[in-house]
């Protein structure tokens, strides 16, 4: 950022409190190199990864939008995350510090991680998992989940991590779409003093041959709760590991071989498997972790994300391990046993770099500054945020009460699809602007387009796009090429459509304003309106449903559902409760509608499309814009009456 003190009409800039010559020089050098030659920049960055065989062409766009990076390069992700650190003193460095909900703690050095991962890789091989097979991982936050991810990549299998908060039905769908061969889960997990029934959910998903592709289920003992084990199918992790061989040669993978699948919600239909490949993903994630978090060898890094989401993949597992970092893995919730859980952890381990989400920050704000104030947070030196737009108030609170006005905040914008952070300030920026994700990362070309596909002028809003391919980009949607093309590449020729809106401010900084498609962002979790609607209409009383995300002070957005009933059914509180429960059982608690309204009709265009935007405006109490395209404008008044 230029040395400009204040942008007119916008939140006042904050002088970067941690600015020093080193980070300043790094930012300048990175930006200069990327500006001069983008491909040369990524070529340079690729040298920080270990290759069995170097790539011979950096980039190929001959089959756009199926882009390729680092062609003919050979490497292994697990080798890069673990083995290459073993030849130095780092082998005895903590790779993972696990903090359990019970206050139990476990440290795994790189050597420990090597041993555990190799053994599990051999176990998987022994169960018949081969290169290219998919292994589903359904777990809470325990070290074994990370070990499982790495064991897959060691043998060239793809992991498909399913967030531990998803229901049995959601797990089943993801297993079946990916045809996962093995499922790795746990007996249970701890959350807010209760146990979460992981194995029980998994059993429900698998019952009655619900997941025909699954041959074996590996169960980690975490809670020790009694769980039925199906003979021939279910195996205890600990027993398998006891007998496993200590060394497993990593598979030599092509840069463009698949690395993992991660299911994520889109605007239509069911969640889709986002496919990432080995070479580009590793280079992108290594580079962004190193420079955005300014990771230094002795730092303790903590990302509060769950491995069930992309942030957990890129910046809890791969980014830190590729850089030989020490990171904290945390099980549980920020308010259990008390609302200072996070600050106790920062104090306990001397956390230096802390990466979390705006929804968490807003919650912490509500709980009050007495909680962080009573803990020693002096180890912190850099803060970062991801998952949704951070409002300037939350930014300032984070800055003051957690960073104590000493730590810069990196507001990082990216997506499951992008694999790596694309828009963010750098620690070497002189000024930070609260609420603005700010700039494209060096070597990335994010932009804001108007409807005609032209870059907007300063002060204008539009679609957030990426105009040049980047290494860690998704390669396709698993089993759905059509949707890959139509979702991301159809609207603007040659540019990737993110689904987010953004504006350029007077100084050309990017402010992400949030989703402008039918994806809802609840507490930083992505949910498609279509998924919730199709759960609702499974109820016999429901004729039609429209779901929207309406502004919510803490969660960013909350789910509201508008439902029309079949003849002979009446809306009641019992029915509302039943419908909410139905959604929880189909998707998970994260998708539970905050409110459900019964309406005699839904507003539709003349071609029959439900106008969700109008419903959102009603729900948020906004003045309604043009309603002339409605089939029956009277519908609006009747809904408004009911709503009010």
Pair of tokens at residue 251: 């598979």
**C-beta closer to ligand WTA: residue 415 or 535:** 415
512 binds ligand WTA (CB under 6 A): yes
Among residue numbers 162 through 181, which ones bind ligand WTA (CB under 6 A)? none
Angle 530-532-534 from CA coordinates, rounded to 5°: 65
306 binds ligand WTA (CB under 6 A): no
* Residue 497 contacts residue 487 (beta carbons within 8 Å): yes
309 binds ligand WTA (CB under 6 A): yes
Q: Report d(CA 186, CA 198) in Å as an integer.
A: 6
Stretch that binds ligand WTA, among 191-199, 250-258, 380-388, 470-478 (CB under 6 A): 380-388
359 binds ligand WTA (CB under 6 A): no
Residue nearest to ligand WTA (CB): 416
**C-beta closer to ligand WTA: residue 180 or 412:** 412
Stretch that binds ligand WTA, among 234-242, 381-389, 541-549, 559-567 (CB under 6 A): 381-389
Backbone angles phi, psi at 282, to 5 degrees: -65, -45
388 binds ligand WTA (CB under 6 A): yes
**C-alpha count within 13 angstroms, C-beta hemisphere, residue 583:** 29
Pair of tokens at residue 416: 């499951």
Q: Which residue is it, tokens 């440290």?
A: 107
316 binds ligand WTA (CB under 6 A): no
3-state SS class at 203: helix
**C-beta closer to ligand WTA: residue 313 or 381:** 313
Cα dist. 48→22, 113, 126, 281, 295 in Å? 19, 21, 33, 13, 14
514 binds ligand WTA (CB under 6 A): yes
**C-beta closer to ligand WTA: residue 196 or 423:** 423
Neighbours of 237 (CB within 10 A): 21
Judged by CB under 6 A, which of 199, 216, 286, 515 binds ligand WTA? 515
412 binds ligand WTA (CB under 6 A): yes
Neighbours of 449 (CB within 10 A): 19
413 binds ligand WTA (CB under 6 A): yes
Q: Characterize 385-402 residue by residue with b for buried, 16 or more Cβ atoms within 10 angstroms of its Cβ, and e for exposed.
A: bbbbbbbeebbbbbbebb
Stretch that binds ligand WTA, among 8-16, 251-259, 345-353, 494-502 (CB under 6 A): 494-502
- What residues contact residue 601 under an 8 Å CB cut-off, 6+ apart? 564, 632, 635, 638, 639
Stretch that binds ligand WTA, among 11-19, 170-178, 308-316, 394-402 (CB under 6 A): 308-316
Q: Report d(CA 278, CA 51) in Å as an integer.
A: 11
* Residue 179 contacts residue 133 (beta carbons within 8 Å): no
- What residues contact residue 211 under an 8 Å CB cut-off, 6+ apart? 172, 175, 176, 180, 183, 205
361 binds ligand WTA (CB under 6 A): no
Backbone angles phi, psi at 462, to 5 degrees: -175, -155
352 binds ligand WTA (CB under 6 A): no
Smallest gap from residue 398 Cβ to ligand WTA (A): 13
Number of residues that bind ligand WTA (CB under 6 A): 23
620: nearest Cα among 523, 548, 519, 541: 548
- What residues contact residue 628 under an 8 Å CB cut-off, 6+ apart? none
**C-beta closer to ligand WTA: residue 556 or 603:** 556
Judged by CB under 6 A, which of 286, 362, 526, 555 binds ligand WTA? 526
441 binds ligand WTA (CB under 6 A): no
Strand partners, 218: 184, 235
Judged by CB under 6 A, which of 416, 529, 557, 564 binds ligand WTA? 416
Judged by CB under 6 A, which of 260, 318, 414, 463 binds ligand WTA? 414
3-state SS class at 264: strand
Judged by CB under 6 A, which of 123, 325, 437, 527 binds ligand WTA? 437
Q: Pinpoint the alpha helices (H) of 197-340.
A: 198-206, 237-242, 278-292, 310-312, 319-322
- What residues contact residue 486 under an 8 Å CB cut-off, 6+ apart? none
Smallest gap from residue 479 Cβ to ligand WTA (A): 19
Angle 490-520-368 from CA coordinates, rounded to 5°: 140
389 binds ligand WTA (CB under 6 A): yes
**C-beta closer to ligand WTA: residue 471 or 499:** 499
258 binds ligand WTA (CB under 6 A): no
**C-beta closer to ligand WTA: residue 221 or 551:** 551
387 binds ligand WTA (CB under 6 A): yes
511 binds ligand WTA (CB under 6 A): no
**C-beta closer to ligand WTA: residue 311 or 327:** 311
Smallest gap from residue 285 Cβ to ligand WTA (A): 12
311 binds ligand WTA (CB under 6 A): yes
499 binds ligand WTA (CB under 6 A): yes
Please name the helix (run of DSSP H) or strand (run of DSSP E) that holds residue 639, with its range, or none: helix 634-643
3-state SS class at 84: helix
**C-beta closer to ligand WTA: residue 254 or 294:** 294
Site residues, ligand WTA (CB under 6 A): 264, 309-311, 386-389, 411-416, 437, 498-500, 512, 514-515, 521, 526
């Amino acid at each position: 950022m230029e040395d400009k003190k204040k942008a007119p009409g916008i939140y006042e800039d904050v002088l970067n409190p941690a600015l020093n010559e080193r980070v300043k020089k790094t930012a300048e050098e990175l930006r200069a190199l990327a500006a001069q030659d983008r491909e040369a920049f990524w070529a340079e960055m690729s040298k920080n990864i270990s290759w069995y065989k170097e790539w011979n062409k950096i980039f190929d766009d001959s089959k756009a939008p199926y882009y390729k990076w680092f062609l003919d390069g050979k490497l292994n992700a697990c080798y890069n995350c673990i083995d290459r650190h073993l030849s130095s003193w780092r082998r005895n460095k903590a790779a993972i510090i696990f903090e359990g909900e019970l206050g139990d703690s476990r440290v795994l050095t790189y050597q420990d991680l090597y041993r555990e991962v190799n053994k599990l890789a051999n176990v998987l091989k022994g169960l018949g998992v081969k290169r290219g097979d998919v292994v589903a991982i359904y777990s809470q936050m325990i070290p074994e989940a990370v070990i499982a991810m790495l064991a897959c990549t060691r043998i060239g299998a793809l992991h498909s991590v399913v967030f531990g908060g998803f229901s049995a039905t959601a797990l089943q769908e993801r297993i079946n779409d990916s045809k996962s061969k093995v499922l790795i889960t746990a007996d249970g997990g701890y959350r807010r003093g209760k146990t979460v029934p992981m194995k029980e959910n998994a059993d429900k998903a698998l019952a009655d041959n619900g997941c025909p592709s699954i041959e074996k289920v590996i169960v980690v003992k975490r809670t020790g709760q009694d769980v039925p084990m199906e003979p021939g199918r279910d195996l205890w992790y600990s027993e398998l590991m006891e007998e496993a061989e200590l060394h497993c040669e990593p598979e030599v993978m092509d840069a463009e071989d698949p690395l993992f699948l991660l299911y994520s919600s889109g605007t239509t239909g069911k969640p889709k498997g986002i496919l990432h490949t080995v070479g580009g993903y590793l280079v992108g994630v290594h580079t962004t972790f190193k420079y955005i978090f300014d990771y230094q060898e002795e730092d303790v890094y903590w990302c509060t994300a769950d491995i069930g989401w992309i942030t957990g993949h890129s910046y809890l597992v791969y980014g830190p391990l590729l850089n030989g970092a020490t990171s904290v893995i945390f099980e549980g919730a920020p308010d259990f046993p008390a609302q200072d859980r996070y600050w106790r952890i920062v104090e306990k381990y001397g956390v230096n770099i802390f990466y979390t989400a705006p929804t968490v920050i807003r919650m912490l704000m509500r709980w009050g500054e007495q909680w962080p104030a009573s803990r020693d947070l002096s180890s912190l030196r850099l803060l970062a945020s991801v998952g949704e737009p951070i409002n300037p108030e939350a930014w300032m609170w984070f800055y003051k009460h957690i960073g104590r006005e000493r730590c810069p905040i990196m507001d990082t914008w990216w997506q499951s699809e992008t694999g790596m952070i694309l828009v963010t300030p750098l620690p070497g920026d002189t000024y930070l602007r609260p609420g603005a994700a700010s700039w494209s990362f060096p070597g990335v070309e994010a932009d804001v387009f108007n409807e005609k596909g032209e870059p907007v002028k300063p002060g204008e809003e539009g679609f957030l796009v990426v105009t040049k391919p980047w290494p860690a980009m998704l390669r396709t949607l698993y089993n759905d090429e059509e949707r890959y093309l139509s979702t991301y590449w159809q609207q603007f020729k040659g540019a990737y459509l993110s689904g987010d809106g953004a504006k350029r401010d007077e100084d050309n900084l990017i402010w992400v304003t949030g989703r402008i498609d039918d994806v809802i962002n609840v507490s930083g979790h992505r949910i498609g309106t279509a998924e919730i609607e199709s759960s609702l209409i499974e109820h016999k009383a429901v004729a039609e449903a429209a779901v929207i995300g309406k502004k919510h002070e803490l969660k960013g957005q909350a789910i509201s559902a508008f439902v029309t009933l079949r003849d002979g059914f009446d809306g009641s509180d019992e029915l509302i409760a039943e419908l909410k429960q139905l959604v929880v059982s189909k998707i998970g608690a994260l998708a539970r509608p905050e409110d459900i309204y019964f309406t005699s009709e839904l507003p539709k265009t003349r071609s029959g499309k439900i106008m969700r935007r109008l419903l959102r405006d009603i729900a948020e109490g906004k003045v309604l814009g043009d309603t002339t395209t409605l089939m029956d404008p009277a519908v609006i008044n009747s809904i408004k009456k009911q709503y009010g």
